Chains A and B, each alone.
Chain A
Amino acid sequence: MSLNSKNSDSNFHNGIPHWKFQRISAIINMPLIIWFVFSLITFSDYSYISLTEWVKNPINSILIISMFASILYHSSLGIQVVIEDYISEVKSRAFLLNLSKLIIFFLFIVSFGSVINIYIK
């Protein structure tokens, strides 16, 4: 078996886009996370009403969805590298790569749906 076919389950031979998107998402993460943390720590009360009112603001809704999209995408790229580095067995590596992407995609759907639900409530 050649090295090529052994590693065909990952982006072993195509690392440049991965490297680039990891940095791009990192840079996008920064202002979104700083905005999110700053908004939350300056909140006067953390009641259900005031939090949902905050999420309902259209700009906040869009920023929250963008933040979840960007950090989950960045996570997915990071977890991928960790799996590729430490799991050498081809089948379990492929399985874990798919599983991690599936779980992270599921988390995005839940966060996206939740923001929409709060917005239309």
Chain B
Amino acid sequence: MAKERPISPHLQVYKPQITSVLSIFHRITGVALTFGLILLVAWIFTLSLGEEYFEYYVMFIKSWFGLLILFGFTFALNYHLCNGIRHLFWDAGYGYEIETVHKSGLAVLVVSFVLTILIWYLAL
């Protein structure tokens, strides 16, 4: 019985809008960042094992696949951080007007893009 009911948060019966897309993207980036943490733990772990092991890590992260993951991780982190701040404002009771919600959502997207480019520019 329970299996046939739609599963919360009802993605399959909900019309996609900027608000709902940004909301589910917060969750998607959260899950992605958790998997990305494995890579961050591997960084400190190989650093502790010794130089020859760390070289393997650097080799992987500098490959096109490693760089792609790292770039995605940077964007996911910036998005989750900015949208997280947006959530904290809502929790405090601010920013619920539809116009504000749309504006803050757009701001989160723009700021996380700019931060991602800025971080890579400074790091490279």
User: Residues of A with Cβ closer than 8 Å to B?
Assistant: 23, 26-27, 30, 33, 37, 40-42, 46, 48, 51-52, 55, 64, 68, 71-72, 75, 78-79, 82, 85-86, 88-89, 104, 107, 110-111, 113-115, 117-118, 121
CB distance B34 to A111 under 8 Å? no
**Smallest CB-CB separation from B7: which chain A residue?**
A86
Residues of B within 8 A of A46 (CB): 58
B37 contact from A64, A88, A107, Cβ within 8 A: A107
Closest Cβ–Cβ distance, residue A23 to chain B (whole Å): 6
Residues of B within 8 A of A78 (CB): 27, 30-31, 34
Looking at chain A's contact residues, the main secondary structure is helix
Residues of A within 8 A of B119 (CB): 37, 41
User: Residues of B with Cβ closer than 8 Å to A?
Assistant: 2-3, 7-9, 27, 30-31, 33-34, 37-38, 40-41, 44-45, 47-48, 51, 54-55, 58, 77, 81, 84-85, 88, 91, 119, 122-123
A75 touching B47 in the complex, CB below 8 Å, given contacts A48-B54, A85-B7: no
**Smallest CB-CB separation from A88: which chain B residue?**
B2
